[in-house]
Structure 1
Amino acid sequence: MRFAGVRAVLFDLDGTLIDSAPDLGYAADLMRVQRGLPSLPMERYRPLAGAGARGMIQVAFGHGPDHPEFEALRQEFFDNYQACMTRSTRAFDEVPAMLDGLIRQGLAWGVVTNKSERFALPLTAGMPLFATSATVVGGDTTPHPKPHPAPLWEAARRMGVPPEACVYVGDDERDIVAGKAAGMPTVAACYGYLGVQTDVGAWGADAVIENPLDLLNFLQLP
């Protein structure tokens, strides 16, 4: 299978291009330690890294968004994370080689994440990996975050590429929902934070990859 007419590839950020779980977990665990609670192992935080503040607070304190302390904890988490977000975050293995492959094929690429611009813009600006990215669209760049298609349409508009000529790659069901709603072929990335219980096949993605370099098999130009 090969996607035809592709001119650009858009990616989710956390769990797709970068492994930010160590810094997300550190920001939440620091809150526990500062309250005299024992530190938790990173293995507890990693599976919920894709859920951002909501997931990290759930692991650290067992509180969901309906808890009366959740909003204050969320703001504290954001402050902690902003101070450490490039401490240990790195690209997943073979992501740099995959991006180089896209560029060699003459394809543009960009980022569409639900991470707010407060974090997404400085984080990507601070990592050499993103030097060739055509755009970074955050969760608050448009009025609606994913799974709404608006952020993907905005990225395509900025890149001057029709949505149908873009492929969207992500590691969460909302990424596939957003990509399909935007009229883009979709690829589910299984190498990030997905737990063993996740039924990726039920998402309806057009392709599934177990390794970043697998993406190139679907994008080779004639």
Structure 2
Amino acid sequence: MTGLREDIRAVLFDLDGTLIDSAPDLAGAGNDMRKARGLPPLPYETFRPMVGAGARGMLGIALQITPEDPDFIALREEFLSRYEARMSQETHVFEAMHPVLATLQAHGVPWGIVTNKAERFTLPLVRTLTLDERAAAIVGGDTTPHSKPHPEPLLEAARRMGIAADACVYVGDDLRDVQAGRAAGMATVAAAWGYLGQGDPIGAWGADHVIESPGELLNLLRLA
């Protein structure tokens, strides 16, 4: 496997589907809404691909609701409240990510988190998972005026780490992650273990590398 550029000095991760598996709690909130309406639960596998689309994606699966529906705003707030109440019940760091983070730390490579998840959810969740103690930067979807695929959240994370954007690699499981990383001048890695959505296949996103498991990142960084 050809590695990343040798001048890469820091790693930024998307959160949901890349660093952590939050799909069980997001799907659970969707099924909680169905239960409240007397509807049977849907299989977890139905929800998982749409996790990257947030509340919009979960409501689309749970209740076949789109943003154009007049009740969408109220239903979105209900979904977010239900999710907030349970967001750390089943969510966990991907098991294969633990040795990756440990290796980065052992080699003095700073890493951070850039997510479209609002700080209202991001900050308590990363504290619960003790990621805040190790991350050099945490940027949520509302930390800056823009969210991905705009590059500003990634650029803000690089500023907080004191590292040039072009010396960072961004790892994510959504097309918007690759678009944001490229726009920020970063190297990009697409995470095939993530949620991936229902759009173009991962190989068509234009990432510098596609990896099947977290450990492959260490090979790209020549740390394995």
* TM-score, length basis structure 1: 0.96
Paired AA for residue 215 in structure 1: L
What is the match of residue 9 of structure 1?
11
Whole-Å Cα distance in 2 between the matches of residues 63 and 212 of structure 1? 34
Task: Give 1:220 deviation, angstroms.
Answer: 1.8
Whole-Å Cα distance in 1 between the matches of residues 155 and 199 of structure 2? 31
Paired AA for residue 2 in structure 1: G
Alpha-carbon deviations, 1:122-159, whole Å to 9, x = none? 00011124421111100000001000000000000000
What is the match of residue 151 of structure 1?
153
Give the fraction of aligned pairs with identical amino acids, expressed as a percent.
Answer: 58
Task: Give 1:5 deviation, angstroms.
Answer: 0.9
Task: Tell me the SS of whatever aligns to 1:49.
Answer: helix
User: Do the aligned partners of 2:10 and 2:110 also contact (CA within 8 Å) in 1?
Assistant: yes
Superposed CA RMSD in Å reads: 1.3
What is the match of residue 216 of structure 1?
218
Paired AA for residue 190 in structure 1: A
Q: Once superposed, which parts of structure 1, at least 4 consecutive aligned residues long, lie more than 2 Å away?
A: 128-131, 194-198
Task: Give 1:49 deviation, angstroms.
Answer: 1.2
Paired AA for residue 189 in structure 2: V
Q: Does 1:57 align with 2:71?
A: no
* TM-score, length basis structure 2: 0.95
The count of aligned residue pairs is: 221
User: Do the aligned partners of 2:171 and 2:189 also contact (CA within 8 Å) in 1?
Assistant: yes
User: Do the aligned partners of 2:9 and 2:167 also contact (CA within 8 Å) in 1?
Assistant: yes
Task: Tell me the SS of whatever aligns to 2:133.
Answer: helix
Alpha-carbon deviations, 1:61-98, whole Å to 9, x = none? 11111111111110001101111000000111210111
Paired AA for residue 8 in structure 1: A
Whole-Å Cα distance in 2 between the matches of residues 22 and 2 of structure 1? 33
Paired AA for residue 110 in structure 1: G
Paired AA for residue 14 in structure 1: D
What is the match of residue 25 of structure 2?
23
Paired AA for residue 19 in structure 1: D
User: Do the aligned partners of 1:14 and 1:50 also contact (CA within 8 Å) in 2?
Assistant: yes
Unaligned stretches of 5+ residues in structure 1: none
Paired AA for residue 159 in structure 1: M
User: Do the aligned partners of 2:49 and 2:198 also contact (CA within 8 Å) in 1?
Assistant: no
Match of 1:173 among 152, 155, 175: 175
Alpha-carbon deviations, 1:195-218, whole Å to 9, x = none? 687511211100111000000011
Task: Give 1:24 deviation, angstroms.
Answer: 0.2
Whole-Å Cα distance in 2 between the matches of residues 201 and 36 of structure 1? 40
Unaligned stretches of 5+ residues in structure 2: none
Moved more, 57-66 or 195-204: 195-204
User: Do the aligned partners of 2:25 and 2:87 also contact (CA within 8 Å) in 1?
Assistant: yes
